[in-house]
Amino acid sequence: MITLTGKKVSEGIVIGRLVFFNRGEREVRRIYVEDAEKELVRFQKARVRTAEELQELCEESAGELGETNAMIFEVQQMVIEDDAFLNQVVRIITEQKLNAEYAVRESAREFLKTCGARPESYVRGHEADVHDVVARILRILSRGRKDRMIMDEPFIMAARDLYPSEAVRLDKTKVLGFVTMYGSINSHTAVLARTKGIPSVIGLGEALKKDYEGKMVIIDGFDGKLYIEPDQTTMEKMKQKKQQHMQKVETLERLKGKENITQSGQKIEVCANIGSREDIERVLRSDAGGIGLFRSEFLYMETPGRLPTEEQQFQVYRLAAEAMGAKKVVIRTADLGGDKMPEGMEIQGEANPMIGYRGIRISLDKREMFKTQLRAILRASAFGNLQVMFPMITSIEEVTEAKKVLERAKAELKEEKTAYDENIRVGVMIETPAAVMISGELAREVDFFSIGTNDLTQHTLAMDRTNRKLTGFYNPYHPALIKMIRIVANNVHLEGKHISICGDLAADTDMTETFLQMGIDELSVAPGKVLPLRKKIREIR
């Protein structure tokens, strides 16, 4: 038995024969043409036909995957309309008098080298989409047929890489799963694999050899592994793992696509909380209405001794935005401090770190670090429905100062001609009694609220929730806390604003009916809690 390890893209266990996908790469030769105008017309016709095929593909995939996921082909539409790409093709054909195939290939290479290297470029991280478009244009120019994968029996597909237009056409009745030598978990292909529920592992490298063609293999999408010619013990173990997974899936699938609505007709949004890029896949599987809380501080603790750069943060936020499509993604700015202090930023001499130097206080004290994060969030807002939220607020002045830093970040990006959502929604966390008492005034300053019940409870009760000695005293259902939530909800609704609960109490199904009676607009919970919460909501009379 041979075991290969790559990057998990879509979870699941599948067993079958390995078949390598042959795309039928077309040879591109450099040919001198006498009539450049005629060659230019030939290219323009191929470009128009490419646009038509992409539109057909978008409409076709919208029926299966929904309009949000079908929109990924807009990137390819943008490529064939991009002046930088098109002008280069025209120059090669008209000035160098070379054939359209060669012009397209060389222009794409130059396009990726220049545009793909810019952090703000729409093709950065989506190079496969450019290659996909080029392959389509070349096929049309050569009058070739569309590539198809024809097999009599279901199989596991292997490939060097896989283009989005190929991934969207995968027939789940034939393609059990796929593995690739290369690829990115941020790619549209990865998003499509998750959306279609096709177990897959990418990035296996050169270890994925053509010699394995026809061999029996197992994809373990949970651990990112490919077992080639598995032994009997591994086979039995994987079959058992697959059976357990299928039982869970069958139970959850019955609730997917259902509304979060009570039997009396009252609706409430259910979103998911995440702390890393790895959690995004879980949100997609959970059928959540969006990401109600992205705990961005965990990005600051991934690399000990080094804070994340603007570019590193941007890539993660962009991934979340693109993966969720039209659904919202609320990014809480770094709630550092207390028990979430990155290595190298430790604060000495704090007797009570949970009520000390943390949250918005650190952000306003370290404004350049704060502005770096806000720039990353703003840049990513051009790729989806991003919202920004400030933690540990205790005063109007803190919100005012935070918004000033946000405006400075906007001004810088505007001067740099970098795209961002100029009307990005701004919210605050309600985690302190002070914020509860001024929630009416805060509601006139921001667009939405989220109640963090974990911190609000310990600050209200003056108890460290992690102290085992206080277990008998700590009451997450304390009447004072429930009254505070009700006060905030009333004040926020008086101003016509949106309010959610994102702490642990949001997932407590014993409290669901109470929150509905308060008129809470949204509950944001761990991805694994989304469907159980939906079940509870739908049972309430």
CB atoms within 10 A of CB 439: 25
- Listed in sequence order, the residues at least 6 apart from 348 whose beta carbon sits closer than 8 Å to its beta carbon are none
Q: Which residue has the higher pLDDT, 290 or 57?
A: 290
Percent of the chain's residues with pLDDT above 90: 57
CB atoms within 10 A of CB 125: 17
Tens digit of pLDDT for each residue in 30-53? 889 889 999 999 999 999 999 988
Write the CATH number of the domain with boundaries 36-141: 1.10.274.10
pLDDT tens digits for range 127-177: 878 888 898 898 888 875 454 444 557 899 999 888 776 776 777 788 999
Residue 147, pLDDT score = 47
**What residues are designated binding site?**
295, 332, 431, 454-455, 465
Asked if 363 and 331 count as a contact pair (C-beta separation under 8 A), the reply is no
Averaged pLDDT for residues 167-190: 79
For 182-204, b where at least 16 C-beta lie within 10 A, e where not — what string?
Answer: bbbbbbbbbbbbbbbbbbbbbbb
| Per-domain residue ranges of the chain | 2-23+148-234, 36-141, 269-539
Residues at the binding site for Mg(2+) are 431, 455
Tokens of 182: 């290369």
Query: Mean pLDDT over residues 463-486, rounded?
Result: 83
* CATH no. of 2-23+148-234: 3.50.30.10
pLDDT, average across residues 311-324: 93
Q: How many CB atoms lie within 10 A of CB 337?
A: 24
| pLDDT for residue 339 | 59
Minimum mean pLDDT among 337-346, 400-409, 461-470: which range?
Answer: 337-346
For the annotated catalytic residues, the residue numbers are 188, 502
How would residue 470 be classed by pLDDT, with cut points 50, 70 and 90?
Answer: confident
Residue ranges for the known binding site for phosphoenolpyruvate are 295, 332, 454-455, 465
Instruction: Give, in words, the CATH class of 269-539.
Output: alpha beta
Section 179-185 average pLDDT: 83
Write down the pLDDT at residue 130: 87
Write down the residue that tokens 């003056």 correspond to: 462
Q: What is the C-alpha to C-alpha distance for residues 75 and 28, in angstroms, rounded to an integer?
A: 24
What's CA 125's distance to the chain center, in Å?
A: 13
> With bands split at pLDDT 50, 70 and 90, how would you rate the model's confidence at 304?
low
Give the number of other CB atoms < 10 A from CB of residue 381. 24
pLDDT in tens, 269-297: 999 998 877 788 889 888 999 999 998 98
When pLDDT is averaged across residues 203-209 and rounded to a whole number, the result is: 92
Query: How much is the pTM?
Result: 0.62
Q: pLDDT value at position 306?
A: 78
Across residues 165-194, what is the average pLDDT?
Answer: 77
Token pair, residue 175, equals: 């393609």
Question: What is the CB-side half-sphere exposure of residue 186 using CA atoms within 13 A?
Answer: 16
pLDDT digits (tens, 9 = 90+) for 233-255: 999 999 999 998 888 778 777 89
Q: Is the pLDDT of residue 64 over 60?
A: no
Write down the pLDDT at residue 269. 97
The burial of 162, by beta-carbon neighbours within 10 Å (0-12 exposed, 13-18 middle, 19 or more buried), is given as buried
Same topology, domains 2-23+148-234 and 269-539? Answer is no
Mean pLDDT across the chain, nearest whole number?
Answer: 87
- Whether the predicted pLDDT of 28 surpasses 50: yes
